[in-house]
Amino acid sequence: MTSPRVPIAMLAVPGGFHDGDWVESKDQDPIGGIRLLQLADVGDGQFRDRSDRWINEDTFRRLRCSWTLPGDVLIARMPDPLGRACLLPEGLGRTITVVDVAVLRVDPERADRRFVMYAINQAETRAQFEVQQDGATRQRIPRTRLGRTKIPLPPIDEQRRIADFLDAETARLDHLMDSRRRQVTVLAEGLRSEAERLARPHRILGCHAGSETRVVSLRRLISKVQTGYTPTGLLQSPLQGEHIPWYTPAALGEDLDLADAEHGLEPAVAAEMPRFPAGSILIVGIGESLGKVVDLNHEATGNQQLTAVTTSELVDRRFLLWQLYAAYDELRAWTHFSRIRILNNDTLKSFPVSYIPIDRQVKIRQRLDRRLEDLRVLKKAADRFSQITAEFRQSLITAAVTGQIDVTTARGLGEAA
């Protein structure tokens, strides 16, 4: 039998469906006692617990903020994905949330809050959200439209059976995805440790009489250092044609990966800027990503947070790249500190590195390159597995909420995945 469909707003207790609070940066207090939950905390069926924003008591009263309570359904009014929902867990203390998160306090006499969360996250509801979004630059769904969106609502006993089933099955699926991610993490950590041991032997074995290992400053092994630059008022255009790729630290991923550039500069504009030559090592010298490195195999430009190092003939470039990769934590500590930490050119040049005969450098970097390729293959497989599992999870939620499967006889589907 088809379940009736009910607007989301009708499932709330009186006054229990509202937006979060409009709290600006100037209103926040890092030592306040009331946590300000962010969009990043709202996951697809899971509370992510990623933020660390706070306000104090005076601000709470001045802005007339509204509490969020354990068990509230938090609904993201912005992507990605639009309309994703989760339950606020116990143990977070006193919390409020931002204006782009809608808060739904479900009436327990009408609905099971877990079922409501799953019904909001299922594919048919998501499709309704997509056609109701607005915004010229940042897409969002107004709370009034969100509240008018209808979800299936079977009898409450059936809601609880469906929610119990989905709790168990999605937990199994999430465990499978977490296991694959942990495998990748373990291999990545092992790779960095091996790079530390092989490419920076002075840190592990030290230097002693007769040793082939010497400690030298980075300036001994490089021929050029260039810092990027962004002219005032420059507008980067989408990368196309003869445009020169223009990078920011966001392009430098984990494990020496360099993302494709989203923007480029016209050759005439790029000619007036420092050019990063192909075959240089790109290093982040300031900001949250300070210390990240990648191998740049093509000519490019970048902002002032990036520095390009050109190696001399005394060192194998990939070997030096592996040294700097292994020295991530040391590079972050080896900074000039004024108001913010900066790895400027002079400071970078003084950084201590291992020097060993170049034939050994080549053998070490070849070994590490092979390990890196193994890691990339595993990551690609794990990403594909996660994509397939997430799609199955979404289909399972939709089928259960809309009555396409009998949850009393469908146990263990998560194990089959």
What total of structural domains would you count in the chain?
3
* Helical packing angle, 123-132 and 358-401, nearest 10°: 100
For residue 81, cis peptide bond before it (omega within 30 degrees of 0): yes
- Cα separation, 162 vs 176, in Å, equals 21
- Cα separation, 350 vs 110, in Å, equals 68
Boundary (domain end) residue, out of 132, 153, 174 = 153
Q: For residue 243, how many C-alpha atoms fall within 13 Å in the half-sphere facing its CB?
A: 16
DSSP 188: H
Within 39-87, where are the H helices?
57-62
Residues 249, 347 within the same domain: yes
Can you give the pLDDT at residue 37?
A: 98
Residues 169, 113 within the same domain: no
CATH of the domain at 104: 3.90.220.20
Residues 43, 170 within the same domain: no
Boundary (domain end) residue, out of 355, 373, 397 = 355
Q: Could you tell me the two tokens for 226?
A: 């260039």
Main-chain phi, psi angles of 214, to 5 degrees: -125, 155
pLDDT 10s per residue in the chain (417 long)?
578 999 999 999 999 999 999 999 999 999 999 999 999 999 999 999 999 999 999 999 999 999 999 999 999 999 888 999 999 999 999 999 999 999 999 999 999 999 999 999 999 999 999 888 775 556 889 999 999 999 999 999 999 999 999 999 999 999 999 999 999 999 999 999 999 999 988 776 666 555 678 899 999 999 999 998 876 555 555 555 567 888 999 999 888 888 887 777 777 777 777 789 999 999 999 888 999 999 999 999 888 999 999 999 999 999 999 999 999 999 998 887 656 788 889 999 999 999 999 999 999 999 999 999 999 999 999 999 999 999 999 999 999 999 999 888 766 555 544
Taking the complete model, does pTM exceed 0.85, yes or no?
no
Domain range for 112 is 5-153
Burial class (CB in 10 A: 0-12, 13-18, 19+), 209: exposed
Residues 68, 98 within the same domain: yes
- Cα separation, 301 vs 324, in Å, equals 21
- Cα separation, 183 vs 192, in Å, equals 15
Residues 304, 339 within the same domain: yes
Residues 166, 225 within the same domain: no
CB 270 within 8 A of CB 244: yes
Can you give the pLDDT at residue 237?
A: 56
Going edge to edge, which strands form the sheet with 101-106?
A: 12-19, 101-106, 73-76, 85-87
309: Cβ–Cβ under 8 A, 6 or more apart, which residues? Answer: 218, 222, 224, 225, 280, 281, 282, 283, 320, 348
- Cα separation, 261 vs 283, in Å, equals 16
- Cα separation, 372 vs 380, in Å, equals 12
